Chain A
Amino acid sequence: MNTNRTLKVVIAALLGTGVMAGSVANAQEMPDFENWKCRFCPFPEKGVSGDAGASAIDVSDDSARFGDYTGLDEEGTRINAGADMVYRAGSGYAITLDARDLGLDSRSLALQAGRQGRWTVDLSWDELPRRLDDSVSTVYEGLGSSRLTLPSNWVRGNFTSELSALQGNLRDFELGWDRETAGLGLEFVQSARLRYEAEWTRQTKEGRGLTWGSFLGTAEDLVKPLDYQTDQVDAALVYAGQDWNVRLGYYGSFFSNQDTSLTWDNPFTGPDRGRMAMAPDNRYHQGRLSGVYRFATWDTTLNASYARGRMEQEDALLQYTINPAIAGQPLPVQAFDGRADTTNASVRLTARPADALRVSAEYRYNERDNESGQYDWAAVQADSFQTLSFRNPAYSFEDQDLLLRANYRFNRRLSAAAGWEQRERERDFQNVETTEEDTLWGSLSFRPVSALALSFRLEDGSRDASEYQAIPSTGLGAEQNPLLRKYYLADRERDLVQVQAEFTPAPRFNLALRYEDARDEYDQSQVGLVEADYDQLSADASIQLGKALVVTAYFSRDTYDSRTVGAASFAVPNTAPPNWEARTEDRHDVHGVAFNWPGLADGKLDLRADFMQAESEGDSGVATVLGGNPDAFPTLRSQLKGFQLNADWHVNPRWTLNAGWRWEKFDADDWAIDGVGPATIPSVLTFGAQTLDYDIDVFLLGFRYNLVKDEE
């Protein structure tokens, strides 16, 4: 070993080979660029390139669920179009256009102009159709407004069976909304080190949402108006130094709602009408500074971030009630001074003290400091009766996390990692002031042969809660059972096991298996959620047959089981011992197979086919005696099946014809809504929603035109 080589070994050992190898290019003598002509480099020429296309899409039936997010909710044929194009001017100036689904309610458009490496301007437009339910009917008029009225011939009653004008006034309608987002983005590269970014988006959401209204002992399904607008601004200055970089950013969110309340007529006997508050306007400002410094020693990096934010809302408040029979009390304030300050900070140190060893330590701090006013409110319950005075809690919390981990690579076949995490939560106005969770974990990755990779992970977490205490000033009859432990605040033991295997016996065949078992036990909880168990098993395989046919298949099963214990009592306060329990067992299976066969018929035909099936089942039972035989509910079921076949025929380099067929079927059984008509529940006037089963065929026929040059 000569001196140079020895020196390299020492330096590599100290700095880590990654750093050294990563900077090899910089260490070289630069080439003679006179000979680097790049004559064979096919740089795009000036002009327009890309493709554009159009298609006719036929949908066989109406279905809100099928059309949710896609815009294919109505039967019939529509013309769709899209384009992916770029215009290149000289000197690197370019304009790109990405237009998708222009004929559908899920259309999007993105336009970018600029000169790469100097500046860019982005304009975007995006629509997202929510089609929630088309199985619903109502007697209310004024849907989508903030005032819902009953027909003039409406007859009130104590129960739905007494609403004699119900059937004659029911009208079908649809629940859903459209979300539209416009965006403007700017990037300016001032120098190799300094860059500015800014993005503004305006998101609107308009339509009809589902809500409910209630009076004393009765309730009704209602349509709530949605007329939201959210403006968001993200702006940042980014500076990259030699061994460090820093980002100074601002994030702002400004939400406004055109409807501050919803007033509705009471279909039952009782107060004439009620009024509820809609989401108030709010705004949030956050400043953020984050950065990283890279030390030469041990490939060490230090990341840090600090952000301060403030969320505010001060909408004028509604009165306690609109029921004229109840003497109105004066409000303590006319507008709520809602304000919460947020702090988020983190520091992370990562180092490679040896090439095989990587260690990191991280500290995180998150705080929500609720500075909102607290007042005594003379609340009127459900526009029906005056209650005791209550003081609103101002929930604040403070989280501190400490995470340590180490990875060690024994050799190319074996590596191990271990870590310890401590998460501490402090809360105000809740049953538990502090929870502290310690988690130890370890993992092992092993490649016994090059064709097989195995990995294992074990995790053991223990969460300890401070003394459980009753929340003050909740009023008579509202106290929780003293044996209850709310699951997100309770002592918890969490165990997790993960096993993964990836088998690649041949370059053209791959099989991956994964298993996970996560178990939560709330062993100090006598009432509440006492255990939850999540299992997941999945398998993926892909194989290439022949020159180009690739077949992939997948299977997945996950189960989620839980057990909840209750303490039923009508005595005030509820001090009953545990006396009932409920168990749930949810299962979700997915399997599918896909074929991708490009280049058929001398390269003219690309074929793709895809079959997928997803089934879920939910079994639950309630035992009215602790440990007794559960009374089993009908199984919740859903089944989604789908098949797609797509073909692209490349007529010539310019023209491609597309044809496709997509079939999708959805069936569900849900005891919470099946057979529940508008008047089924004596005290609740519902929309009579049903499970949204569908069986839809979609046919597509279209073309794509590619703007290739003649010589290509």
Chain B
Amino acid sequence: MLSRFAVMILALLLLGVAELAWGQDEEPGFSARGADNCIGCHRRWEPPLMGIFETPHGNPHDARSPFGEEQLQCEACHGPGGAHAGRVKRGDPRPPIYNFGSEADTPVAVQNGMCMQCHDGHVGEQWAGSAHDINTVACADCHSLHTPEDAVLDSRTQSEACYACHAEVKSDFLKPSAHPVRQGALACTDCHNPHGTANDSLLKRATLNETCYDCHAEKRGPLVWEHAPVVEDCSVCHDPHGAVHPAMLTRRPPQLCQSCHTPSGHPSVPYDTSGLPDGTPSPYLLGGNCLNCHTQVHGSNHPSGKALMR
């Protein structure tokens, strides 16, 4: 008997059934008057909640909206609130409803499950198992449902939500050469799909290069003379978030180029400070350095473009 009991306890622990006890003692029921019940207490709540009526979720004309006809209003997301809105004995805690965000008591899987009941088709078929799903990011960690404007949907403010977890990227966009996220002219979602994709880094196109071609379509080709790493992976030479070197290059030419090019003569020779302006100014070091001649570094469609000079 004892061993059976021990096995049961162990099984419960392993399977996380402790979570089940959360709110499951009684099958919860809906409130008597729906949102009118909720608003009675939460009308002047901090942070303000009533902004939701300015958003798509508060639109009564959309049959899919929580406030659409015969929809469950607040309880569509927060779950049945009958017990929460009902009478509570003095000193007893008020039974919880579903709350949202990583810090909320409601398990993230439950929270996101509530959102996915309606948004599965919008969020996309790549959410399950994606980086944000598997790392238990709650929808509400990024989205604000009760404010008239969801900051993460605004290119000027979106990045702040991303920096909350990706702090290292914030400094990248302050580097001397960077994509204009700091200026609000580019949003993280212009390149990434936080709801999941079938590639690394949640890039919104099928590959890194395909994502870059969205704005840099002139580099797509195919060209007569291609530069092999260019067609394969832009990040071989560039850091797309920002770099201390011009053109978001990971390292400064000529050394960047000399990492891969060693034919006899000028590509193989070290260029030191004697080539600076106060010495013998070197075309291999100054100005465009390697690009002074090999200007078509992204490839050339010229019949004489093998050395990427035409």
> CA of A514 to CA of B250 in the docked complex: distance in angstroms?
22
Q: Is the CB of A536 within 8 A of B56?
A: no
The B186-219 residues at the A interface (CB cut-off 8 A) are 198-199, 205-207, 210, 213-215, 217-219
**0/1 per residue, B95-130, Cβ < 8 Å to A?**
000000000000101100110110011001111110
Tell me if B35 and A41 are in contact (CB < 8 A).
yes
B219: which A residues are within 8 A, CB to CB? 279
Q: How large is the interface on B (under 10, 10 to 19, 20 to 34, 35 or more residues)?
A: 35 or more
Q: Is the CB of B301 within 8 A of A317?
A: yes
Subset of 15 A-B contacts with CB under 8 Å: A8-B24, A28-B30, A40-B36, A253-B213, A276-B295, A282-B217, A303-B129, A356-B15, A360-B134, A377-B303, A394-B222, A573-B263, A673-B286, A676-B277, A683-B283
CB neighbours (8 Å) of B291 from chain A are 212
Chain B residues near A631: list those with CB within 8 A.
Answer: 272-274
**B15 to A676, Cβ gap below 8 A?**
no
Cα distance A661–B254 in the bound complex, in angstroms: 41
- Inter-chain CA distance A304–B70, complex, in Å, is 35
Given known contacts A31-B72, A116-B62, A614-B171, A336 and B224 CB-to-CB distance under 8 angstroms: yes
- Interface core residue of A23, A230, A527 (most chain B CB under 10 Å): A230
Q: Within residues 280 to 331 of chain A, which ones have a CB less than 8 A from any CB in chain B?
A: 280, 282, 284, 286, 288, 290-292, 294, 301, 303, 305, 307, 309, 311-313, 315, 317-321, 331
Could you mark each residue 370-388 of chain A with 1 if its beta carbon is under 8 Å from any beta carbon of chain B, else 0? 1010000101111100010
How far is it, in angstroms, between the C-alpha of A97 and the C-alpha of B65 when the chains are bound?
Answer: 22
Q: Cα distance A252–B265 when bound, in Å?
A: 44
Residues B231-279 near A (CB distance < 8 A)? 231-233, 236, 244-245, 250-252, 255, 258-265, 268-274, 276-278
Within 8 A of B (CB), among A525-580: 527-529, 536, 538, 540, 554, 556, 558, 560, 562, 564, 566-574, 576, 580
Contact of A564 among B79, B129, B232, B258 (CB under 8 A): B258
Segment among A479-487, A600-608, A652-660 that sits at the interface with chain B? A479-487
Tell which of B126, B207, B278 touches A290, judged by Cβ atoms closer than 8 Å: B126
Q: Tell me, yes or no, whether A173 is within 8 Å of chain B by CB.
A: no
| Smallest CB separation, B16 vs chain A (Å) | 3
**Residue A17 CB within 8 A of the other chain:** yes
**Beyond known contacts A21-B113, A372-B224: 20 more, CB 8 A cutoff:** A17-B17, A35-B32, A35-B34, A42-B53, A116-B59, A117-B61, A303-B128, A311-B222, A312-B222, A355-B19, A379-B305, A393-B226, A484-B262, A487-B259, A570-B265, A574-B268, A582-B255, A616-B175, A622-B270, A636-B252
Q: Which 8 residue pairs are nearest across A and B when measured between Cβ atoms?
A: A92-B61, A22-B113, A355-B16, A18-B109, A117-B62, A350-B129, A36-B34, A240-B121
> B270 touching A276 by the CB < 8 A rule?
no
B29 at interface, CB cutoff 8 A:
yes
The interface size bin for chain A is 35 or more
Residues of A within 8 A of B251 (CB): 562, 584
Asked whether B207 lies within 8 Å of A382 as measured between CB atoms, the reply is no
Asked whether, in the complex, the Cβ of B301 is within 8 Å of the Cβ of A277, the reply is: yes
CB of A672 within 8 A of chain B?
yes
Choice from B39, B228, B305 contacting A395 with Cβ under 8 Å: B228
Least Cβ distance of A369 to chain B in Å?
A: 11
Cβ-closest chain A residue relative to B305:
A277
A516 and B59 contact, CB distance less than 8 A: no
Q: Is B300 an interface residue (CB 8 A)?
A: yes
Residue of B nearest to A633 (CB): B273
What residue of chain A has the Cβ atom nearest to residue B69's Cβ? A33
Give the complex CA separation of A348 and B168 in angstroms.
28
Cα distance A282–B217 when bound, in Å? 8
* With A487-B259, A514-B168, A570-B265 as contacts: A680 and B295 at CB distance below 8 Å: no
Please report which residues of chain A, range 216-256, place their CB below 8 angstroms from some CB of chain B when the two chains form the complex: 219, 221, 228, 230, 232, 238-240, 245-247, 251, 253, 255
CB-CB under 8 A from B43, the residues of chain A are 40
Known: A22-B109, A116-B61. A37 touches B264 (CB 8 A): no
Report the separation of the CA atoms of residues A542 and B16 in the bound assembly, to the nearest whole angstrom: 34
- A106 CB → nearest B CB, Å: 6
A319 to B303, CA, bound (A): 7
Contact A512 B167 (CB under 8 A): yes
Is the pair B120, A240 in contact by a Cβ cutoff of 8 Å? yes
Chain A residue numbers with a CB within 8 Å of B265 are: 477, 570, 574
Q: Say yes or no for A13: interface residue by CB 8 A criterion.
A: yes
**Contact call A676/B286, Cβ cutoff below 8 A:** yes
In Å, the complex CA distance between A567 and B259 comes to 11
A41-B39, A116-B56 are contacts. A91–B61 as well, Cβ < 8 Å? yes
Minimum CB–CB distance for B83 against chain A, Å = 12
Q: Which residues of B contact A219 (CB under 8 A)?
A: 283, 288, 292-293
With A115-B61, A212-B295, A484-B262 known as contacts, the answer to whether A339 contacts B222 (CB < 8 A) is yes
State the CA gap A390–B303 with chains docked (Å). 10
- Please state if B306 and A390 are interface contacts (CB–CB under 8 Å): yes
Determine if B295 and A211 form an interchain contact, defined as CB atoms under 8 angstroms apart: yes
CA distance A317 to B301 in the complex (A): 7
Asked whether A684 lies within 8 Å of B125 as measured between CB atoms, the reply is: no
Are B264 and A477 touching (Cβ within 8 A)? yes
**Residues of chain A lying within 8 A (CB to CB) of residue B307:** 381-382
The reply to whether B20 and A8 form a contact with Cβ atoms under 8 Å apart is: yes
Cβ–Cβ contact A43 & B121, under 8 A: no
Are B207 and A22 in contact (CB-based, < 8 A)? Answer: no
B242 shortest CB reach to chain A, Å: 9
B158 at the interface (CB under 8 A from A): no
Chain A neighbourhood of B303, CB < 8 A = 317-320, 331, 377, 379
A24 touches B35 (CB 8 A): no
| Distance between Cα atoms of A195 and B121 in the complex (Å) | 9
Please give, as numbers and ranges, the residues of chain B lying within 8 Å of A36 by CB-CB distance. 33-36, 73
CA A288 – CA B126 in complex, angstroms? 13
Contact A622 B113 (CB under 8 A): no
Q: B218 contacts which of A257, A318, A682 (Cβ < 8 Å)?
A: A257
**B94 proximity list for chain A (CB < 8 A):** none
Q: Is the CB of A638 within 8 A of B244?
A: yes
CA distance A175 to B205 in the complex (A): 31
Q: Select which of B28, B125, B174, B264 is within 8 A of A245 by beta carbon.
A: B125
Chain A residues, CB < 8 A from B40:
40
Contact of B268 among A350, A387, A576 (CB under 8 A): A576
Which B137-155 residues have a C-beta within 8 angstroms of A?
none
Q: Do residues B260 and A253 form an inter-chain contact, with CB atoms below 8 A?
A: no
Question: Which of A251, A303, A631: most chain B CB closer than 10 A?
Answer: A303
A20 → chain B closest CB, angstroms: 8
* Inter-subunit contact B264/A570 (CB<8 Å): yes
Q: How far is the CA of A327 from the CA of B207 in the complex (A)?
A: 43
> Which chain A residues lie closer than 8 Å to B15 at the CB level?
12-13, 354-356
Are A364 and B287 in contact, CB atoms less than 8 angstroms apart?
no
> Which chain A residues numbered 472 to 493 have a C-beta less than 8 Å away from chain B?
477-481, 484, 486-488
| B229 in contact (CB, < 8 A) | yes
